[in-house]
Structure 1
Amino acid sequence: MKMFTIIFFSINVLQNAICLDYDGWLNIKVEHTLNCKYEEYCARGSISLKSIRTGIPVIDQINFNDGHINELKEIAKVDGIYALRTLVSTAESKDVEIISFVRAKRFLESGLSDIIRAWVLPNGEVIALSLQVANTSQPKNIEYKSSEYKLNSTFYIRHVDPAPLPDTASYIQKLEREKEAREKGELKDNRSFLAKYWMYIVPIAIFVMISGAANPEPAAQAAR
């Protein structure tokens, strides 16, 4: 089973790597809002790759302590959110800030297991980062059995294909060729008679209909 998981992960990385035009290092500094004292965000860890194309992520994170768990449970009582701030750096760009969040209750029920995905353009630019709670068949209740609680995070890179751009230059050239052909009389108009002159026919037809409604023919007298 372990070997199958490794093979599956390798295939997944390879499929995404094929679509990338750029390769280089990627570093994601991960911060959160738990047990930060007077700061809004404080360090949770980092995710780094030596190669976006083929690299395997190295995830280095802190362990939660009782303070983290207690604060997380208080947030969960009011159905609040657990937020992450990620600072993404590549060889081409520095510290792109992205905020993501999940429900604190669901994060607790997952046993502190989450999934982080980075959405990367073919040039290596990270345009989005999402945080998702790992699916669990049954909620996991965290008990106070130790002073540290391990985070279980999984990281994926997702390739984003850019939308095709309209071929504006070719379209303009086509319009210019048609204009020149019309001016030279080379472009024949193959439209039907109605298609050519409907703007003249329709007003006449409406006028005839209105005139007929305004001046109805007198009804024939009944035979004696």
Structure 2
Amino acid sequence: MKYFCLIFVCLFKNLVCLDYDGWLNIKLEHNINCKNEKFCSRGNISLKSIRAGTAIISQISFTKDHIDELKEIADLDGLYSVRSLVTSADSKETEFLSSVKAKLFLENRLSDVISSWILPNGEVIAVTFQVNNLSQNQSLQYHKGEYPINSNFYVRHVDLAPVPDTASYIQKLDREREAREKGDLKDNRSFLAKYWMYIVPIAIFVMISGVTNPEPAPQASR
């Protein structure tokens, strides 16, 4: 089954978009009905252009064997796992693993959300797989002996946090130290800013002295 899914290039208006554009391919594998293998093919997600915002998703449909094994895992409160193998024009294959409760995947009628987290330079740092909890259990969709997987795919952009310019700050401190040693550093502060630590104690002392030694009241004339 193939269908198109719109990718939201920027989640928020103030979020930095990609500085990079290129193709991206995500090979999906899962851990059920794989015979002797730990993981086997579930499908593929491909993007000719990340900036263009269109992904082609091709996935298998589950058979009765898939559902039976998924139910067995759910009865044991086990996990349904998806392995994502990511390749792009500028990077080697990178592997990401994500899991959910098999029971939740069944209750959600094999509907899931797959997100690819990408830095502004186009590097994929994570691929997550999750399901949305439904308010009530509903029956699985069934068509011609198969159970289709319903996936929504999104590109999530990660904005890098600002990095403090430590080197420039250290250089500034070194220049100020050298200037003080040479006597070239002038103090442009005001008189109060320079000597407040001397003025404040004197002012407090004068105030206290005025309170403890009040002037005698003048005597009334006779």
Q: TM-score range by the shorter chain?
A: 0.7 to 0.9
Corresponding residue SS for 2:115: strand
**Cα separation, 2, equivalents of 1:19 and 1:146:** 42
For the 8 Å contact 2:111–2:149, the answer to whether it is kept is yes
1:39 offset after TM fit, Å? 0.3
1:174 to 172, 182, 187: 172
**1:21 aligned residue:** 19
Shift in CA distance, 191/80, structure 1 to aligned 2, threshold 3 Å? farther
For the 8 Å contact 1:110–1:140, the answer to whether it is kept is yes
For the 8 Å contact 1:87–1:95, the answer to whether it is kept is yes
**Which TM-score applies when normalising by structure 1?**
0.76
Q: Does 1:30 align with 2:28?
A: yes
RMSD value over aligned CA atoms?
2.4
What are the Cα deviations for residues 152-205 of structure 1, in whole angstroms up to 9, with x where unaligned? 0010000001121111232022111210121023254947658xxxxxxxxxxx
**Cα separation, 2, equivalents of 1:106 and 1:180:** 66
Corresponding residue SS for 1:94: strand
Task: Please state which structure has a larger fraction of its residues in strand.
Answer: 2
For structure 2, list consecutive stretches of 5 or more residues without a partner in the other structure.
Answer: 199-222
Alignment-mate amino acid for residue 152 of structure 1: N
**Cα separation, 1, equivalents of 2:101 and 2:37:** 21
**1:149 aligned residue:** 147
What are the Cα deviations for residues 9-55 of structure 1, in whole angstroms up to 9, with x where unaligned? 57x33668961000000000000000000000000000000011123
For structure 1, list consecutive stretches of 5 or more residues without a partner in the other structure.
Answer: 1-5, 195-224
Corresponding residue SS for 2:145: coil
Task: Please state which structure has a larger fraction of its residues in helix.
Answer: 1
1:113 offset after TM fit, Å? 0.1
Runs of 4+ in structure 1 deviating by more than 6 angstroms, as ranges, are none
For the 8 Å contact 1:114–1:132, the answer to whether it is kept is yes
Alignment-mate amino acid for residue 82 of structure 1: Y
